[in-house]
Amino acid sequence: MQSTVHPHSLNPAIEAAMQSVAQAIPLAARDPQRPRYHFGPPANWMNDPNGTIYANGYYQLFYQHNPYGDQWGHMHWGHARSRDLVHWEHLPIALWPSLESGEEHCFSGCAGVLPNGTPLLLYTKVGPGSDATRPDNEQWAALGNADWITWRKHPDNPILSLATHDGPPFEGDWRDPFIFDADGRTFLVLGANLDDTAAVALYEAIDGDLTRWEYRKMLHTAARADVHLSECPNFFAVGDDWVLLTSPYRPVEYEIGDFDLETLTFHAQTKGVLDPGYTPNRTTAHYYATNIIHAPDGRCILLGWVRGFPAGTGWNGCLALPRVLTIGPDRRPRQNPVAELETLRGPMHAIPAQTVPASTTLLATLPAPSLEIDTTIHLHPGQSVRLHLRGRDSHEPSLTITYDGSTLTMGATSVPFLIESGEPLHLRLFVDRSVSELFVNEGRLAITTIQPMPITPIAVEIEPHSSPIELRSFIAWELSPIP
């Protein structure tokens, strides 16, 4: 990751924030567990990916960023861009809290392009105070230059406020705007609460400048007893299917179905958890706060925040690997890492196809802690297998993946997973120091976990539990760090 663009003059608030980040870079660089090929800011805190869009010849990524420390606070919008979703160029911080206007945080949002080509960011302005004392959130906008680097707050802010939105009396913590187009119309969804209901509120733009919006309805509702708030709602089409993603203070949840544009009604046909990775005490979902990019080749690129790292290291938070999101014939998601990640592959290591007897451990030693492993194993009914990654010494941290025919376990996360009769188990595992991402059977299941790993060579053990298994293939690549 590099930074090559610096405007001749920056807002003083941005200049101060970037100086703070620069001062933290040496500390962040010393942490041996910091991921090497996952995107992260130069230093300090990041959370939700925001304003993700393909524009001006680049994949544009904005993200929640505290430039003043490696814990949450002082929310700005960091900014980076990429030609290939793998190699990123850091750009100046895009959004800053306008303290003189009563703005303490720039919360999450989205990006668009106005009819005249002007870039636009929509986000939630949060005022000072605690949850109980701060004023109601408002939805603000910022306008950008043609280069997508320099931004100014919109003169018509707020774009949306509870005082004038002509909708239900939502609670003040409504936030995280996400815009989408359908049949020539532009809509916006927000996470909102009303009495005992956690809602995804739907608005429609009534002008091309996206400064005037009318409330339409609650696109989705859930009981407050079950959902504290439907954070970071994303609503979009993938082919003929419509997908709703929400982050309800636990792993990201999906609903897939049909959207009736006449009644603006979403009919969900399937629902579930997008990525079930969890801490052992089930307090933190490792994959959270999604966003998407519609790539110029038609792919829907799914982005998410990896969270749950310790403080005090000069950095905290990274982006999960970009995933191609498709919908299977069962109307459930398929998530697979983008093909561009193959450009990071270095030396390859392989194990010949063979039958592995019971009570035997097949061992491979891989020299680097940043890896991609692709293995296919055929199991008969009742068979199980264990994949164990460890260091040379028993006291070093390790990662274990097991499958017993009905449950797949990765670290502290166990989920039901069935393979059809005759179908092999296909595991594609990315290990990047403390972050690991697993994709099972062409993306039917994806799991993200945070687990410190040895920075010395890694031993990979393949072990049948009770009867022989057929190893059909095993290939591993050392992956290059992002400069």
| Same domain (yes/no): 50, 115 | yes
Based on the number of CB atoms within 10 Å of its own CB, is 152 exposed (0-12), middle (13-18) or buried (19 or more)? Answer: exposed
295 DSSP assignment: -
Cβ atoms of residues 78 and 63 within 8 Å: yes
Looking up tokens 């004392």, which residue turns up? 133
Residue 321 lies in a domain: yes
> How far apart, in whole angstroms, are the C-alpha atoms of residue 272 and residue 332?
8
The two beta strands, 458-464 and 333-337, are unpaired
Residue 4 belongs to a domain: no
| 305 and 365, same domain (yes or no) | no
CATH for 104: 2.115.10.20
Please state, in angstroms and rounded to a whole number, the distance separating the CA atoms of residues 213 and 141: 13
CA distance 212 to 297: 31
**pTM (global) more than 0.75:** yes
Sign of CA dihedral 393, 394, 399, 402: positive
Is residue 225 exposed (0-12), middle (13-18) or buried (19+ Cβ within 10 Å)? exposed
Are 74 and 213 in a shared domain? yes
Q: SS3 of 414, please? A: strand
Provide the 3-class DSSP secondary structure of residue 334: strand
Alpha-carbon span 183 to 261, nearest angstrom: 8
Q: How many CB atoms lie within 10 A of CB 452?
A: 16
The parent domain of residue 165 ranges over: 12-337
Going residue by residue through the chain (483 aa), what tens digit of pLDDT does each one get? 444 445 445 799 999 999 999 999 999 999 999 999 999 999 999 999 999 999 999 999 999 999 999 999 999 999 999 999 999 999 999 999 999 999 999 999 999 999 999 999 999 999 999 888 999 999 999 999 999 999 999 999 999 999 999 999 999 999 999 999 999 999 999 999 999 999 999 999 999 999 999 999 999 999 999 999 999 999 999 999 999 999 999 999 999 999 999 999 999 999 999 999 998 888 899 999 999 999 999 999 999 999 999 999 999 999 999 999 999 999 999 999 999 999 999 999 999 999 999 888 988 999 878 999 999 999 988 899 999 999 987 788 899 999 999 999 999 999 999 998 889 999 999 999 999 999 999 999 999 999 999 988 999 999 998 889 999 999 999 999 998
Q: Identify the domain boundary among 337, 368, 394.
A: 337
- Domain boundary (337, 362, 390) is at 337
Give the CATH number of the domain where residue 426 resides: 2.60.120.560
- 273 and 352, same structural domain? no
Q: Indicate whether 180 and 315 sit together in one domain.
A: yes
Q: What is the count of structural domains for the chain?
A: 2
Domain termination residue (choose one: 337, 366, 395)? 337
333 and 354 part of one domain: no
